[in-house]
Amino acid sequence: MVRLLLIGFLLAQSPSPAPRETYLFSYFTGNGEDGLHFAASEDGLTWTAAANGRSFLKPAVGSRLMRDPSIARGPDGLFHMVWTTGWWDKGIGVAHSKDLLEWSEQEFVPVMAHEADAQNCWAPEIFFDADRGRFLIYWATTIPGRFPDTDLKDSSLSRGDRMNHRMYFVETTDFKKYSPAKILYDGGFSVIDAFIVKAAADRYVMVLKDERLRPTPKKHLRVAEAPRPEGPYGPASDPISVDWVEGPSVLKLGGDWIVYYDEYTRKRYGAIRSRDLKKWDVVPISFPAGARHGTAFAVPPDVAARLR
Terminal CA-CA length for the chain? 46
For range 216-233, the mean pLDDT: 94
- Is pLDDT of 6 > 50? no
DSSP state letters, 175-231: SS--PPPEEEE--SS-EEEEEEEEEETTEEEEEEEE---SSS----EEEEEESSTT-
Could you tell me which residue, 245 or 213, shows the higher pLDDT? 245
DSSP state letters, 93-152: EEEEESSSSSBPPPEEE-TTTT-TT----EEEEEEEETTTTEEEEEEEEE-TTSSGGG--
pTM for this one?
0.92
Give residue 7's pLDDT: 42
* Residue of 101, 150, 102, 127 lying closest to 199 (CA atoms): 127
Q: Each residue of 29-75: pLDDT tens digit?
A: 999 999 999 999 999 999 999 999 999 999 999 999 999 999 999 99
Sheet holding 165-172, edge to edge: 122-129, 134-142, 165-172, 182-185
What pLDDT band is residue 159 in, cutting at 50, 70 and 90? confident
CATH no. for 21-307: 2.115.10.20
Beta-carbon contacts of 74 under 8 Å, excluding residues fewer than 6 positions away, are 80, 128, 135
Give residue 154's pLDDT: 72
What pLDDT band is residue 152 in, cutting at 50, 70 and 90? confident
Q: Each residue of 66-103: pLDDT tens digit?
A: 999 999 999 999 999 999 999 999 999 999 999 999 99
For range 251-274, the mean pLDDT: 97
The SS3 call for residue 250 is: strand
Q: Each residue of 116-144: pLDDT tens digit?
A: 999 999 999 999 999 999 999 999 999 99
For the chain, counts of helices (H) and of strands (E) = 2, 19
The SS3 call for residue 6 is: helix
Give residue 160's pLDDT: 80
Beta bridge partners of 273: 258, 281
Give residue 18's pLDDT: 44
